[in-house]
Amino acid sequence: MWSQLAWFDEEFQEHDPEVQRMDRAGPPFHALRSAAHGEKQREIVGKVLPEYAKLAATGHIEISTTPYFTRSALLCDSNIAGISHPNVPLPPRFRYPDDARLQLSARATTCSTASASPRLGSGQARARSPRSLHARCRAWFRMVGHGQRRAQSDEADAVPVDGLYRPYEWRREGHSLRVIFRDHFMSDLIGFVYSKMEPSHAAADFLPPHPRKLRRHPRERPRRAGPHHLDGENAWEYYYRNGRPFLRELYRRISEDQACGPSTVSEGLRHMAPECLDHIFPGSWINANFDVWIGAEEDNEAWTQLLRARATYDVAAQVPFEQRNMAHEELLIARAATGAGGTDRARFR
């Protein structure tokens, strides 16, 4: 109970009478108080999606969505990892592109639960391949964010800074997709550095005309877009007051700056013609490859077992419908754990 009380956001600790009473009461804790605490948590969490829907409807935010259980590029073809990392030891080939497209049905869930129709898609650590981009096209995504790696050849060339601040368009088989590439340096400042700084100093450091940032914000063109992507859960809990002072100061400065302003991705893309992108190098923003999910001995064993389970499912045609659906759901969940790196691997164990 103490742990759960401590994790209430400061805004509720300071302004919500029920949360304040819970804080003051202290032990002994019993079942009725625990149940009341759980109800309060559900009440607060229940406010999140309606707030997202309201902000999306007014144009203040644009909602993106991710596949249900990620790894879509490797689900399309696990051998794609050998392109971004030649000679990496790989498990038997896993190739189920239809499963990857099924995971993108998360878009429909976002439409129904958040009252929004996301056109912007992303994946875990922006892992991508040509097949996964095509799957996103077929799932009615129109924009996608990726890491600072792309190529017109089969080499993992980093996009030059000047090349980041513009949109690209990827086309295949009558489908098209706008692609924006992440500024790795600037995004990681938000993700890992600014939480250690005083909020106003961090906001000032992020924006020009700070000398260190001038080269990253070229102003010779009439319109530029600054693509800063981050895994949200990795940043804000380390910030003072969950990042609110930093974000408020940052957006205040952006709004008052005569040379730049806040924009959703769709708004920005309406004002900029895309550059053609006829090839994309497979990988993620983690070292421009898939090594965090495949190639290590235990990861390859997990992919091997997943392939065996998937092949068994394919031939189990006589299983009752409900049990077959349940098995398929478990397969989808297993893919989230397969090759999971770092804390993800420990969590699923």
pLDDT at residue 122, as a whole number:
56
**Each residue of 86-124: b (16+ CB within 10 Å) or e?**
eebebbeebebbebbbbbbebbeebeeebebebbbbbbb
Q: Quick: pLDDT tens for 222-262.
A: 567 777 777 666 789 899 999 999 999 999 998 888 777 88
Kindly report, residue by residue over 71-100, the tens digit of the pLDDT. Answer: 677 888 899 999 989 999 999 999 988 777
Residue 20 lies in a domain: yes
Tell the burial category of 293 from Cβ atoms under 10 Å away from its Cβ (0-12, 13-18, 19+): buried
How many structural domains does the chain have? 1
Q: How far apart are CA 262 and CA 181, in angstroms?
A: 18
Residue 26, domain member (yes or no): yes
Q: Which residues of the chain have pLDDT under 70?
A: 67-71, 103-162, 208-223, 231-233, 336-349
- Contacts with 276 (C-beta within 8 Å, 6 or more apart), sequence order: 168, 169, 171
Domain membership of residue 326 (yes or no) is: no
The 8-class DSSP code of residue 177 comes to: E
Whether the CB-CB separation of 275 and 230 falls below 8 Å is answered with no
Residue 69 contacts residue 127 (beta carbons within 8 Å)? no
Task: Report yes or no on 250 lying in a domain.
Answer: no
Q: Which residues contact 293 (CB under 8 A, 6 or more apart)?
A: 71, 74, 127, 299, 338, 339, 340, 341
The predicted pLDDT at position 138 comes to 47
Per-residue model confidence (pLDDT) at position 262: 83
Report the distance separating Cα 136 and Cα 62, nearest Å.
18
Q: Can you tell me whether residue 169 is helix, strand or coil?
A: strand
- Residue 37: inside a domain, yes or no? yes
Burial code of 192-231, b = ≥16 C-beta within 10 A, e = fewer?
eebbebebeebbeebbbeeeeeeebbeeeeeebbbbbbbe
328 burial level (CB within 10 Å; 0-12, 13-18, 19+): middle
> Is residue 318 classed exposed, middle or buried when 0-12, 13-18 and 19+ CB atoms within 10 A define those classes?
exposed
Burial 240-259 (b: 16+ CB within 10 A, else e): eeebebbeebbeeebeeeee
Q: Whole-prediction pTM value?
A: 0.76
3-state secondary structure of 85: coil
Distance CA 32, CA 30 (A): 6
Could you give the CA distance from residue 224 to residue 168 in angstroms, rounded to a whole number?
13
Q: H helices within the chain, ranges in order?
A: 2-6, 10-15, 17-25, 31-45, 48-57, 72-76, 81-84, 97-103, 106-113, 130-138, 161-164, 184-188, 199-206, 244-256, 265-270, 297-315, 321-337, 343-348
Provide the pLDDT for residue 147.
Answer: 59
Q: Is 142 helix (H, G, I), strand (E, B) or coil?
A: coil
Q: Name the residue range of residue 29's domain.
A: 2-45
Is residue 221 within 8 A of residue 270, CB to CB? The reply is no
pLDDT at 153: 40
Is there a domain that residue 36 lies in? yes
User: Is the residue at 18 inside a domain?
Assistant: yes
